[in-house]
């Protein structure tokens, strides 16, 4: 996954409304009209968020000119999640290594005290 694509994914995910829209779309496709009511936002405001999500490749829009239902695209999310997992695992690995180093340093100090 390219950094630019990760950037777009995380920028899109940084907004709570867009995360909520994705969570709603994860339960099934929806049109802009169907998204207006639950989010208590105007149609233009919803459309703006959808454009960001579409540009980031997190959703796709149907071809039906009237309805253009939105669908979630799981691939970029899966890739982002994989990246996050690596990041979290990296800190765990660093700190586990630090645990070992601390044990080693403690053991070195012990004989001196006796």
Partner 1 sequence: MKSTLKVVASGDREIVITRTFNAPRELVWDTLSRPELLKRWLFGPAGWAMTVCEEDRRVGGTFRWAWVGPGGAAMTMTGAYREIVPPERCVRTETFETGCFPQMGEQISTLVLGERGEQTLLTLTVLYPSKEARDGALASGMEHGMAAGYDRLDEILAGAAG
Q: Where are the alpha helices (DSSP H) in 31-73?
A: 32-39, 43-55
Position 81 contacts partner 1 (CB under 8 A): yes
Position 38 contacts partner 1 (CB under 8 A): no
Position 3 contacts partner 1 (CB under 8 A): yes
Helix axes 43-55 and 3-13, enclosed angle (nearest 10) = 160
- Residue with smaller CB distance to partner 1, 55 or 88: 88
- Distance separating alpha carbons of residues 53 and 9, to the nearest angstrom: 8
Position 14 contacts partner 1 (CB under 8 A): yes
Position 11 contacts partner 1 (CB under 8 A): yes
Position 1 contacts partner 1 (CB under 8 A): no
Q: Which of 43, 45, 48, 93 binds partner 1 (CB under 8 A)?
A: 93
Task: List the one residue out of 91, 88, 83 whose CA is nearest residue 2.
Answer: 83
């Amino acid at each position: 996954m390219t950094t630019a694509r990760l950037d777009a994914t995380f920028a899109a995910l940084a907004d709570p409304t867009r995360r909520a829209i994705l969570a709603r779309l994860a339960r099934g496709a929806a049109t802009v009209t169907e998204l207006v009511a639950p989010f208590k936002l105007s149609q233009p405001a919803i459309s703006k968020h959808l454009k960001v999500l579409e540009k980031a490749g997190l959703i796709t829009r149907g071809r039906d000119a009237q309805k253009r239902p939105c669908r979630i695209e799981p691939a970029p999310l899966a890739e982002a999640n994989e990246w996050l997992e690596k990041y979290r695992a990296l800190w765990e690995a660093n700190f586990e290594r630090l645990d070992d180093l601390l044990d080693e340093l403690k053991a070195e100090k012990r004989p001196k005290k006796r």
